[in-house]
Amino acid sequence: MPEELEETEKLYYDPLSVARRTSQKIHFVHEHDKNAMISHLIIKNMYTDVIVVTKTKRQAD
């Protein structure tokens, strides 16, 4: 019986398993509002893990 419990608690890291337990949101923002928007979202929602996708490295700076 204890062996069955250990298997149900196991997390899988294949792309499909990760995608199923990941929530995604998209926000379209004007260029001059991007810094304020990301700060607001992180502070308001108290996210622990965040991935920000940009078109180019220059936009990330």
pLDDT of amino acid 7? 55
Domain of residue 52 covers 2-60
pLDDT one-digit tens code per residue, 7-52: 556 777 888 888 888 888 888 889 899 889 888 888 888 777 777 7
**Contacts of residue 37, Cβ cutoff 8 Å, sequence gap at least 6:** 27, 29
- As for how many domains the chain has, the answer is 1
Question: What is the pLDDT at residue 1?
Answer: 47
Global pTM reads 0.49
Contacts of 50 (CB under 8 A, 6+ apart): 42
